[in-house]
Structure 1
Amino acid sequence: MRSPATQTAYIIISLLVVTTMGFLFKFYTGFAQEWFNNYIAAVFYEIFWCLLAFLFWRSSNAIARIPIWVFTITCGIEFLQLWHPPLLEKIRSTFIGRTLLGSTFSLWDFPHYVLGCFLGWLWLQQLKVKGHAKKS
């Protein structure tokens, strides 16, 4: 069996790939720019959080629970975008704050969150296999 360090390396590489892809789509200019910037980037946002959670929580039932928790929390963050107190507005005025908390509520985010969590779940399944595969 491969070591936990090998699985950790796969997770970190996955996080780097997903983060890069998310930012590429967030700043994409061209055909269907708004869709790529807002919704496809949201798919990678969900996968990112699934991977980050899996980096720290790898119990036997984590793979099933992580996408559910990620979906629940990110939906809460989406609804939080309807609220505009000064502190949240100050956080959202920064690039990182806007990236993590968003700034505009959209019902169209929810199907993309579902897709991202589903793909995140599939990705975690593959990482579990990679972490438990026998050496050749």
Structure 2
Amino acid sequence: MIQLNTKRQFVYFIAVVLVIILGLASRKYSNFLPTFLAENAGDTLWAMMVYFGFRLLFVGKRILTAVSLSFLFSFGIEFSQLYQADWINQLRATILGALILGKGFLLVDLIRYTVGIVLAAFLDKLSLKYNN
């Protein structure tokens, strides 16, 4: 069980949960979304979830720390998709494995991750500005 020691950690936890719900909904109901959103929302929201997850774990650190870790993690996962060994492809064939590891390298995903991380950091900075 995660123990949330501060109000800020609780906010980041809620942000993670909400972004996960939105991300899963963007996949499940993609046929109801405009094409641009259907194609880009999932990966953008995934990167936002990564950012808020790092903020939850490292609540006392600067935003730049979470941004840097989010880029390293997200880009690392994407570049790992260039590795196509049987054992990791079997993991990717599972629902959870596909959600975490993806399936195949796409350069456009790096752009989607960048947008998601920058957007999350912007919302975070805005939230900190108005809640302090």
TM-score, structure 1 normalization: 0.81
5+ residue gaps, structure 2, are none
2:28 paired residue number? 27
Once the two structures are superposed, what CA deviation does each residue of 1:11-64 show, in whole Å capped at 9, x if it has no partner? 12211211111111122232555x545521111111101111111102342x11
TM-score, structure 2 normalization: 0.83
2:78 paired residue number? 78
Q: Identity over the aligned pairs, expressed in percent? A: 19
5+ residue gaps, structure 1, are none
| Largest Rg, 1 or 2 | 1
Across the aligned residues of Structure 1 and Structure 2, the Cα RMSD in angstroms comes to 2.0
Which protein, 1 or 2, shows the higher relative CO under an 8 Å CA cutoff with sep ≥ 6? 1
The 5 A counterparts of 1:4-15 are 5-15=6-16
The separation in 2 between residues aligned to 1:38 and 1:101, in whole angstroms, is 18
Decide whether aligned partners of structure 1 residues 77 and 104 sit closer, same or farther in structure 2, where only a CA change above 3 A counts.
Answer: same
The 5 A counterparts of 1:34-53 are 35-53=36-54
AA aligned opposite 2:49: F
Decide whether aligned partners of structure 1 residues 9 and 126 sit closer, same or farther in structure 2, where only a CA change above 3 A counts.
Answer: farther
The separation in 1 between residues aligned to 2:66 and 2:7, in whole angstroms, is 21
